Amino acid sequence: MTLDGGPDGPSALAFSASGRLLHVLVHDDATPSDGLPSDVLLRLDVSTGQLTRQARLEVFDRGDIWPRLSMAHHRARLYVGTGGIAGGPGAIGVYTANAGFGAGTPSVTWTLPGGASAGPVTGIAIDRDTGTIYVANAAGLHRASIPASITATPTFTTFSTITDVRAIAWGDHFGSGPQRGLYVLRAATGNGSIGWIPAALAASFTGLTPSAYVSAGSLWHDLAFTADGRLMVGADEDAEIIRDDSDTRLDFDAWMRDELAQNVVFARGLISPDGEPAGWVIDADTVPSLPRFHPATPDGAAWVILTLLVHGEINSDPAVQSDVRNILVRYAGLSPDGIRPARSADGIFKHWLSPITGNTKPGWPDEYATLSTMKIVTAAARAMDVFPDDPVIARAASRIIFGVRNWASYFQAGTQALAFKGLLSGAPGPDTTSWARPFHEGILFAEQAGAYGGTAGQAIAASWFMRGNWPTASFVVGRPITSANSGQFDAAFLSIYPALVSAPFRASVLPGGWRTQIENIRWSNAAWTDDNATLYATVFSAGTSPVGYNADSLVNRPGNVSTFPALMALSCFGDPAEAVGAYAAYRKGARQTFRSGASILYRRSTDAGSTFVPDSAGLPDVSMGALGLAELIQPGVIDQVLARPYPQKELCPVDVTGDGRIDADDLHALLAAPQDLNGDGVAGPADVGCLVNWLRRAEARDVTGR
């Protein structure tokens, strides 16, 4: 190309819905020496920085005026507007532009109303909710339903005959609620002005003239809507941002803080919400019209604790300590009412607990669950870190953590599979019918085995954390996602959990490490979003679905439901892209209110016309979103609070003498009259050791406990 100082150069830009792909149209009026077309369509993969040439083409052949061309990407197709070559009519070339392919020639070319005199295509905009394309040229504004087949040609309807359109853009969530519709940049006033046609009118009426919205203060050339609900305008030497005064929605930063606050309301609202004994956490909330029906779980307790710890760090809430204390006391089996959560001889917790008995709630699966155990152990360990001098928290957390035994026995020799269940009898050892081969969220149990399972546990942890050991599946070429089975995609939460709470997982930053796993999940789900007509940015994870509870994935996705907490959680390393996608969903009204009073982003179908609304939401599927946002609100908070080393010293702060203090007098009394302080059923040296650990916890020297 021989670009000069005139109108030559980039003439149109088009991002894909997720922002993963950016298409750049460059025109040059000079004839190239190789005899091929003079203009070029470039494709930038934002995730890799790779720029490729998608096509050589002719879009504009004049060097004396600005072409004001337009492009739009939607559902794996790129719509390229041309400028009327050799005096002919402008047209739209429709190119394949999916996750892994960019076609070099259009599948079809659409002619537009107005003929040769209509000139270049100056605007293309798409209403993604209805699948309608809007096009502008000198003959006016035209609309058509996008055909299902890429080779089909639509029938355009001219609904406005204005002749001075410089650009158009479709606003999904601009301004106040009724301001959805088509925005038109016109040249009639010289510098330009923007008019607005409401969505209902643009979709079905003719003979329209845009209502005046705002006049330009400088020369305006183009416009586009941003994901955060503002209008970006290309000016002569600058870009300008317009935010409508009538917009009452929270801005992005305020929304993040409010989403965290709403998640705290959701979490606290499930701590003994319906008169249960103190400290139990019910696993899920329901919509206001439906009574809660879920049991208490260690899983729910863990996510409430983790949410409260992060909230307390960011917002300095003094009530966090007492809430965490009450939960840990209950799940440690130390509550005065004597109701204790059922645990096996190895300390493995039952999953679905009745708050009345502490055993399995009738009607729910009866199982000792390793994955439930690893979550409450994680939460207990983090609480010990945050409140190191609270004797109640220290004792309860130690009961939970150090009450788990025989860690290595829950991994199958050779395969490193983790047993999801302990023996139903409660006896020591795993249920050998419940092996599940890596990779999955059980990497947290493997990390804990490395901390507490001796040399065998350390070997298990080392193996699990070597990502190259496990199978993969690829949705985008060059971005393999580690999974349980080769070629199989899993729900996103399997990798998000350790990305939030595991220090070695987060520290695995080399190419091919676990951070690469999160990147590959991010960009693969982004590619799916781009290839499909989604209403929202989409990530597939587990939760309530149209067919019941389901672990959604890229290939198992009933109802095409986006899990917004997983979307937000993918910001856990500080990139806000997915959080902005969730913010756009908030702006489109995707929040849902639950019995606790919390209004949060949970799950919505991305399919146009879907009426699916989840009737309940589980803590394990909700809380991760708030933790991802927390990293954007206060960078470093995840490493500071959640992804920490596991404590090595069991602590038994008990006031043996009953004098209101825990000091050396208690140690002397214990030596004189041994007691079982740590709950292992034996009064002996281990109890002395863990009391000594408490008394000497602030000393630099290492004191070995049980």
**258-270 pLDDT tens trace:** 999 999 999 999 9
Contacts of 414 (CB under 8 A, 6+ apart): none
Write the pLDDT tens digit of every residue in 134-172. Answer: 999 999 999 999 999 999 999 999 999 999 999 999 999
- Going by pLDDT thresholds of 50, 70 and 90, the confidence category of residue 2 is confident
Q: For the residues of 528-558, what is the DSSP string, one character each?
A: HHHHTT-SS-----EEEEBTEEEE--SS--T
Q: What is the pTM of this model?
A: 0.95
Residue 296 in this model has a pLDDT that exceeds 80: yes
Least confident window among 419-433, 486-500, 601-615, 692-706: 692-706
> Helices 619-633 & 577-587, crossing angle to 10 degrees?
110
Higher pLDDT, 177 or 17: 17
Task: Return the closest-CA partner of residue 626 out of 615, 616, 637.
Answer: 637
Residue 700 has pLDDT above 80, yes or no: no
The tokens of 182 are what? 């088509």
Average pLDDT value for residue range 501-522: 96
Task: Report d(CA 103, CA 72) in Å as an integer.
Answer: 15
Which among 84, 123, 90 is positioned nearest to 202, based on CA atoms?
Answer: 123
Q: What is the mean pLDDT of residues 399-406?
A: 98
Q: Using the 8-state DSSP alphabet, how is residue 343 labeled? A: B
In the predicted model, is pLDDT for residue 703 greater than 80? Answer: no
Kind of pairing between the strands at 561-563 and 132-137: unpaired
Q: How confident is the model at residue 65 (pLDDT cuts 50, 70, 90)?
A: confident
For the segment 220-242, the average pLDDT, to the nearest whole number, is 93
Residue type, 129: D
Q: Are the CB atoms for 595 and 287 separated by under 8 Å?
A: yes
- Per the CB < 8 A criterion, the answer to whether 60 and 39 are in contact is yes
Report the distance separating Cα 521 and Cα 370, nearest Å: 25
For the stretch 578-594, pLDDT in tens is: 999 999 999 999 999 99
The 10s digit of each residue's pLDDT in 627-654 is 999 999 999 999 999 999 999 999 999 9
Q: Name every residue whose Cβ is closer than 8 Å to that of residue 514 and which is 6 or more positions away in sequence.
A: 465, 467, 495, 498, 499, 505, 506, 508
- In this structure, are residues 447 and 502 in contact, taking their beta carbons and an 8 Å threshold? yes
Given this model, what pLDDT does residue 1 score?
A: 83
Please state which CATH class domain 252-642 belongs to.
mainly alpha
- Delimiting residues of CATH 1.50.10.140 domain(s) in the chain: 252-642
Average pLDDT of the residues in 19-29: 95
| Cα distance between residue 124 and residue 81, in whole Å | 8
Structure tokens at 269: 């609202």
DSSP 306: H
pLDDT at 702 over 70: no
706 pLDDT exceeds 70?
A: no
Are the beta carbons of 375 and 309 closer than 8 angstroms? no
Q: Where in the chain is the domain with CATH 2.130.10.10?
A: 9-242
CA distances from 546 to 531, 550, 607, 611, 617 (A): 22, 9, 12, 10, 13
Question: Is beta strand 421-422 parallel, antiparallel or unpaired with respect to 368-369?
Answer: antiparallel
How far is residue 472's CA from residue 541's CA, in Å, rounded to a whole number?
17
Q: What is the CATH number of domain 9-242?
A: 2.130.10.10
The pairing of strands 591-593 and 480-482 is unpaired
Q: Is the pLDDT of residue 5 over 70?
A: yes
For 588-652, where are the alpha helices, taking DSSP H only? 619-633, 637
Write the burial class of residue 415 (CB in 10 Å: 0-12 exposed, 13-18 middle, 19+ buried): exposed
The string of pLDDT tens digits covering residues 106-117 is 999 999 999 988
Packing angle of the helix pair 493-501, 443-452 (nearest 10 deg): 40
Assign 88 a pLDDT band (cuts: 50, 70, 90).
Answer: confident
